[in-house]
Chains A and B, each alone.
Chain A
Amino acid sequence: MSLDEGIHHRDRCAIVGIGETDYTRNSGRSDLTLATQAALAAMADAGVDPFDVDGIVRCDMDTVHANDLIESIGLPNVTFWCDVGQGGVAAAAMVGQAVGAILSGQATTVLVFRELNGRSGRRYGLSSARSTTIGGGGTYDELYQPYGLLTPGQVFAIMAQRHMIEFGTTPEQLGRIPLACRERANANPRAQMHARTLTMDDYLASRMISTPLRLFDFCLETDGACALVVTSTERARDLRQPPVLIRAVAQATIPSPQPGTMYPVLARPNITELPATAAADVLYRRAGLGPDDIDVAQFYDCFSITVLLQIEDWGFCKKGEGGDFVSSGAIDAGGSLPINTGGGHLSEGYIHGLNHVLEGVRQMRGTSTSQVAAAEACLVTSTPLPPGSALILTKA
């Protein structure tokens, strides 16, 4: 018996508003301005006013705090706020915290946001090492960074190389993922790569960054913000938009995730699997659904390989068969599992997984620029390296 037996949040809350800023390389705006713009857009989309919002959920890497947004927008009735981490595994769990606050009576209408000047400000893809000594204090960076292992991309490159060793995955197969994302971005005017096409030849000819990963295996760096509004399904029925139900949401860990910030994942027994396997077990159980029920998916895509691993971990094919799955066309428009239909982090923009939730909402509203016909269930994952989170959205 699982610990969550008898816990029921299924379909009891809904996402009723979404908003985002433009996605750019240099916003020329403060983080607070970006967060405020996205939040106002989400509230307007939902048709809620500042008096209605009584909860705020932020990511632990947001520089904007709850009180900053309360002050900026003028939200006089906030009685609940919290932070969710770590970074890229937060987005779906942020929605989960909103659900928890609502169902426990701590809030009725919760604003969830993520903002970053990810290109013009702090760039996550660069080495964060600033001093001559590194690590300690539980980071475990001292065991890795002095060797020149300095970025998330290099960690995922080592995982990708191992996937190639074990399963014979090829660069051409990996390339199908950035290509699919780019094609969806070409249909999405909000996407940073909207106007730029990408062919397999372009992909294979692109600059190698850290073998076997090339430039287009890496996500974008983006200035921008996303926000959404969560409320109870009951209240949602009185609001402006057709409610999109949160079928289920989950955080989950593997038994031995390893400590630290990032690099110790390389000490896990198996580096071709992510904690997504655990999230899949919990989320599917809570939702009463399985991979066959998912019509469209938004996979967290800091790198192409991150998607390939998750496709396997979420049960859309067997471990090791991700390469064949993506090259079969399954992830493309008209395939059995169209992915990242706004373009994802690889081609729409990098808002740390929250833009994936927004795109999931659009799919369930029927308003995506790459709408999947008759889609009734959308998986959204926030399952890169650390124990992660995910949710399933359905039509009301």
Chain B
Amino acid sequence: MTDLAPLLPVDDDLDTGGFFEAARRGELVIRRCNGCDAVLHVPRMFCRHCRSWDGRWAPVRGAATVYSWTVVTHQVHPAYPVPYTIVLVDLDDLPGTRLVSRMPGTPELTAGLPVEVWFEEIGEVDGRPIVLPQWKLVTSVPA
């Protein structure tokens, strides 16, 4: 085990910073084009489909399904003790748009399992909390 802090993302990159800014507010956003509504993920400013520079950070629901995963059993970084599972999730609102998450241990996974977003504060840079959108298996079934 380790007390080392996890790697903190550069959260103020000119092209991707909006993702982390939204996460700080507890919001999940994906970059979209205002010209043709194309999904620009991973985030970038120019839309190659309609040649527009006009884009937005569009909120999406924090609902997705498991697309693929790997259980990491060989440790390569002191801040990430094994085993843990990297999950690739497919957004319900934008099928084909995929994000990664880390789940502790070795959860029982199959493709298509529903997952929901949660927001993990993992540290602080220059007084700003650094927050990652993470995903967990949906356990509670609505009554």
Contact = CB atoms under 8 A, between A and B. Distances in A.
Nearest to B99: A143
Contacts of B15: 138
A40 B84 CA distance: 47
A161 B70 contact: yes
A148 B12 CA distance: 20
A35 to B, nearest CB: 28
B41 A147 contact: no
Given A161-B68, A208-B73, A211-B73, A147 B16 contact: no
Given A144-B100, A148-B84, A259-B42, A133 B76 contact: no
Contacts of B8: 132-134, 146
A149 B100 contact: yes
A30 interface: no
Given A145-B7, A267-B42, A154 B68 contact: no
A125 to B, nearest CB: 8
Given A140-B42, A144-B100, A129 B77 contact: yes
Interface residues on A, range: 35 or more
Given A132-B5, A132-B8, A157-B70, A143 B19 contact: yes
13 contacts: A136-B12, A140-B16, A146-B122, A148-B84, A149-B100, A150-B76, A151-B76, A158-B70, A161-B70, A207-B74, A211-B73, A212-B70, A259-B42
Given A140-B16, A259-B44, A135 B10 contact: yes
Interface in A242-292: 258-260, 263-264, 266-267, 269, 271
A148 B72 contact: yes
Contact of B7 (A132, A162, A264): A132
Nearest to A147: B102
Contact of B76 (A126, A142, A143, A162): A126
B42 A258 contact: yes
Contacts of B80: 148, 150
Contacts of B19: 143
A143 B16 contact: yes
A148 B96 contact: no
Contacts of A158: 68-70, 86, 88
B10 A136 contact: yes
Contacts of A269: 96
Nearest to B78: A127
A147 B42 contact: no
Contact of A127 (B11, B13, B20, B76): B76
B56 interface: no
B130 to A, nearest CB: 8
A267 B98 CA distance: 6
Interface of B: 5-13, 15-16, 19-20, 41-42, 44, 67-74, 76-77, 80, 84, 86, 88, 96-102, 111, 122-123, 125, 132, 134
Contacts of A207: 73-74
Contacts of A264: 42
A378 interface: no
Contacts of A271: 68, 88
B50 to A, nearest CB: 15
A137 interface: yes
Contacts of B97: 267
Contacts of B77: 127, 129, 148, 150
Contacts of A159: 68
A119 to B, nearest CB: 15
Contacts of B73: 207-211
A165 interface: yes
Nearest to A160: B70
Q: Which 6 A-B pairs have the closest CB atoms?
A: A136-B10, A142-B9, A157-B70, A162-B68, A136-B13, A209-B74
B70 A210 contact: yes
Contacts of B86: 147-149, 154, 158
B39 to A, nearest CB: 10
Most buried by A among B42, B84, B132: B42
Contacts of A125: 76
B98 A143 contact: no
Contact of B16 (A142, A157, A161, A212): A142
A174 to B, nearest CB: 14
A148 B70 CA distance: 11
A260 B43 CA distance: 11
A127 B6 CA distance: 13
B80 to A, nearest CB: 4
B100 A266 contact: yes
Contacts of B102: 147-149
Given A208-B71, A209-B73, 18 more contacts: A132-B123, A136-B12, A136-B16, A142-B9, A143-B9, A143-B42, A144-B100, A146-B6, A148-B6, A151-B76, A161-B69, A208-B74, A210-B72, A210-B73, A210-B74, A211-B73, A263-B100, A267-B42
